[in-house]
Amino acid sequence: MCGIVGIAKRRDHVIKDLIAALKKLEYRGYDSAGIAVLSNGTIHVIKGVGTIDKVINSTRSIKDGNVGIGHTRWATHGGVSKENAHPHISCNGEVAVVHNGTLDDFNIIRDKLIRKGHKFSSETDTEVIAHLIEEKLAEIGDPVKAFSQAIYELKGSYAIASIIKGYNFILLARNKSPLVIGVGNGENYCASDVAALLHKTNRFIFLKDGEIALITPDRVDIWYLSESTMKKVENKIEVIDWSPQLLDKGNYEYFMLKEIYEQPYILNKLANSIDYYKKFSDQLLRYSESGGISIVAAGTSYHAGLIGKFLLSKLAGMRSEVIIASEFPEWSHHVNKSDTILAISQSGETADVLEAVRIAKSRGAKVLSIANVPGSTLTRLSDETAFIQAGPEIGVAATKTFLAQVAVLYIISSLISGKSTVRIKDGLINVAKELESSMEHISTISRRISSLLMDREHVFFLGRGINYPTALEGALKLKEISYIHAEGYPAGEYKHGPLALIEKGVPSIVLVPSDERTREKIIYNIMEIRSRGAFTITIQPKSVNIPSDFSLPLDVKSELTSPMIYVVPLQLIAYHTAVSLGRNPDKPRNLAKSVTVE
């Protein structure tokens, strides 16, 4: 969703750098963009609807400077328009603000400011911040105090960066929206996530809720804002070992394809770091002895969570429940201090997940998390985090991080079950080998399958047991990037309703289990839908030959690791269908990579 950047340099100009950093945030999704630059003591703003490139073309019309802020906007308050794009400036043009988040009750502040003579030019909640800072500046004079007093009046979620005429620094504030500070040499930065700044630095300070900060080219000062007073906080710099090359598409047409192809390498990496997950597994086991385990996640991570529940039950005999993060407030009345939340999130910034975690923490529950992005808010809220080590994921549709989440859940469940490191490693290496050797073949067949789907209105995905969530994931991938309606179902549940939609030619993609008992049942389900005219596509173990209209045989050594194999053709089917339909799989309409609003 909205992305923020800020750069303070000693001498050089910032516009080029602001645009480069903003472009690294494009993957979060946006509809408009803008920058504000301090030059010769004056603030110059340029903003507009459309791509950052469009803004670049018009930057020639503004003066460059050495301190600036930038923004990519994903509309929430107010439509997509130049007026609503950020940065927003105050009446006298002396304060510019960019903001990610949503302010509660901002109309009350707005009305108060209007009564004092402020004139608003947008429908956004953000604009009140600029006017409020201007108001406080007039009262107090000192820019840092004025900024902190303005922030103290805000409610809701915000990551804010602001520049003020005549001052060579950027002021920051954070509450429930991500904001990181990048530490450079003779220049310092801020951004919504580390991906925006990795090409500049690998040294970061992660701001916490309630903190405000000041960054100059040479200094970073942080305070905790409590009861309108500021308490100085020590700067804790962390080094992030993600390589900036991971943010490059290389020879791939799209990030999504690159990320799908990275999967065997990630599996090999995880297979070689099983010991890293021992402490986490021990902790989960210990916590489970005092109460229940609630797995909480959204979207693709929710599907990984369902597989996690299966693995914990099957391998470790451990009871758990899975709650969709956005439903947690309504479905969690039983969760209390003896329980544990196992939160799963790629970004670690999904607002629904964070809200669920905060509710659980407020009741005294323990929080363990499985995350990808170092330093993300979820990791700060957790007692312990297991990182999935997948590297940055730029394609909006989660691919490699789903596989890595499943692999980590497999490792954790296996460790709790007492399986040896060698056996766990073998299980993962086998999957990695099958994917490595079959990737090109899987891609060719998936492209062929996509040609059978691209003119269909509905596609169904069926699975049983551990691959029922894989079917859900296949349907989610197809619908979110190709815009074809797709449904995932447990194959046995199909006859309790959706079978009514089966008529001649409706495609159903069936994931055939390697486990004989479940396979027998799915064969019956396939016969049922074929007899009603469904066009069946099976993804099945090489060792069997289940009749269908089209099939992709794969080497599946174990049912428990099969989701990591079966999901890959499903990702590639979605990818090829989207590309054949002329849709950009990296940036599906209406979707954002990091969903930071509830």
CB-nearer residue toward ligand F6R: 100 or 347: 347
List the one residue out of 137, 68, 54, 141 whose CA is nearest residue 98.
68
Burial label, 178 (beta-carbon count in 10 A; 0-12, 13-18, 19+): buried
Residue nearest to ligand F6R (CB): 299
d(CA 415, CA 183): 38
Least distance between ligand F6R and beta carbon 97 (Å): 26
Pick 146 or 570: Cβ nearer ligand F6R: 570
> Using the 8-state DSSP alphabet, how is residue 59 labeled?
G
Asked if 255 and 395 count as a contact pair (C-beta separation under 8 A), the reply is: yes
* Rounded least distance, CB 440 to ligand F6R, Å: 24
| Sheet hosting strand 32-39, strand order edge to edge | 42-49, 32-39, 67-73, 3-9, 187-191, 180-183, 203-206, 238-239
**Contacts of 89 by beta carbon, 8 Å cutoff, 6+ apart:** 36, 43, 45, 95, 96, 97, 130
Question: Which residue type sits at 407?
Answer: A
Nearer Cβ to ligand F6R, position 127 or 352? Answer: 352
Strands 550-554 and 535-541 come out as parallel
Nearest-approach distance from CB 376 to ligand F6R, in angstroms: 9
Q: Which has the closest alpha carbon to 163: 106, 93, 77?
A: 93
Query: Which amino acid is it at 159?
Result: A
User: What torsion do the CA atoms of 429, 431, 432, 436 make, to the nearest 10 degrees?
Assistant: 140
Q: Is the dihedral of CA 22, 27, 29, 32 positive or negative?
A: positive
* CA-wise closest residue to 88 among 65, 106, 64: 106
CB of 509 closer than 8 Å to CB of 502:
no
CA distance 587 to 584: 6
CB of 321 within 8 A of CB of 293? yes
Q: Burial, 517: exposed, middle or buried (Cβ in 10 Å; 0-12, 13-18, 19+)? A: exposed
Sequence-distant (≥ 6) Cβ neighbours of residue 130 within 8 angstroms: 88, 89, 90, 95, 96, 97, 162
Strand spans (E) along 51-186:
67-73, 88-89, 95-100, 103-104, 155-156, 158-164, 170-175, 180-183
- Residues in contact with ligand F6R by CB under 6 A are 298-301, 345-347, 350, 353, 397-398, 476, 480, 595
Which CB atom, from 372 or from 548, has the smaller least distance to ligand F6R?
Answer: 372
H-helix or E-strand containing 478? helix 468-482
Which residues does the annotation mark as catalytic?
2, 593
For residue 541, what are the contacts with CB-CB under 8 A and spacing of at least 6?
Answer: 512, 514, 553, 554, 555, 556, 562
CB of 74 to ligand F6R, least distance (A): 13
Cβ proximity to ligand F6R, 263 vs 347, nearer residue: 347
In terms of CB distance, is 346 or 514 closer to ligand F6R?
346
Tokens representing 11 are 């001498």
